[in-house]
Amino acid sequence: MHKLTALFGLFSLFSFTLFGSSCRSDQRGSHLVIQLDAKTSHDTVAFITCIGPEGQMTDTLTHFDTKLELYLDTARFHSVLVSHDAGQRVRLFELIGEEWKEQTNFPEQKMKLPAEAPYLVGKDASGKERNLVDLYRKHPLLVVFASPEGLNTMPSHEIRELRAKAKPDSLIAVFFMPTTSDSTARLRVKRDSLDGIVFSDSLGVVSEARRLFGVEGQAKSVHFRIDTLGRIK
């Protein structure tokens, strides 16, 4: 099974029912049944990405069954990518004629960050209104997108090393935690002996940030720097 370190777009980070998703149609659509491998106790999140000529959408499933039944709008989507187990298990299906067929060889997709930081405003996990522009104009930022599964960030010693190299200002860490619980987001960062500004997805800020920065669907944590001019390093 192929391993992708970068997956396709993550459209939202909350749980929903199988047929209430954005890239799948009602039961009149093209029927695709996918039997996944047996799950481990930590395998709780799956990404289903529907890809077509006009773009792609990704649905997030939490606590999913190993048998997925999808009904797809083939006028919009011709490929389906399913990933779970933190990106370790990936399946690709393509519409050939009127049939969905699994593909065993497909290229690894790489993440492409924008050259400059996008405009982003929202309340952090402590309820304080934040503007990303105001933050990076004062200090360079270390932006950390935690993994959707497990909320993994980055080791604290790596952050300390990056801060030590940042002259004359030290880096301010900004954590985007894909959980709808403010308290869970704050506690996870504190548990990892980290400090900085923490965002949860209680108001959709993390989902929006992942979309704007182009890290939608990343199964692993992602981190990068933003300098005081807004350039992404």
Instruction: Identify whether 115 is part of a domain.
Output: no
pLDDT in the model for residue 148: 74
Instruction: Identify whether 143 is part of a domain.
Output: yes
For 164, the enclosing helix (H) or strand (E) is helix 156-165
Top pLDDT among 66 and 224 is at 224
Top pLDDT among 98 and 16 is at 98
Do 10 and 106 lie in one domain? The reply is yes
- Say how many domains are in the chain: 2
pLDDT > 70: what percent of the chain? 78
E strand segments, 36-112: 45-52, 55-62, 67-72, 79-84, 89-96, 99-103
Top pLDDT among 170 and 78 is at 78
Give yes or no for a contact between 47 and 92, defined as CB atoms under 8 angstroms apart: no
What does the mean pLDDT of the chain come to? 79
Confidence band of 160 (pLDDT split at 50, 70, 90): confident
Do 182 and 210 lie in one domain? The reply is yes
Confidence band of 150 (pLDDT split at 50, 70, 90): confident
Residue 110 CB neighbour total at 10 angstroms: 8
Instruction: Identify whether 72 is part of a domain.
Output: yes
Q: What is the CATH number of the domain that holds 143?
A: 3.40.30.10
Do 87 and 149 lie in one domain? The reply is no
Write out pLDDT tens, residues 101-131.
988 765 555 678 999 999 999 999 999 999 9
In angstroms, the CA 199 to CA 185 distance is 7
Which one of 63, 89, 110 terminates a domain?
110
Do 177 and 89 lie in one domain? The reply is no
Q: How far is CA 185 from CA 4, 153, 177, 179, in A?
A: 26, 11, 6, 7
Instruction: Identify whether 141 is part of a domain.
Output: yes
Domain hosting residue 58, numbered range: 1-110
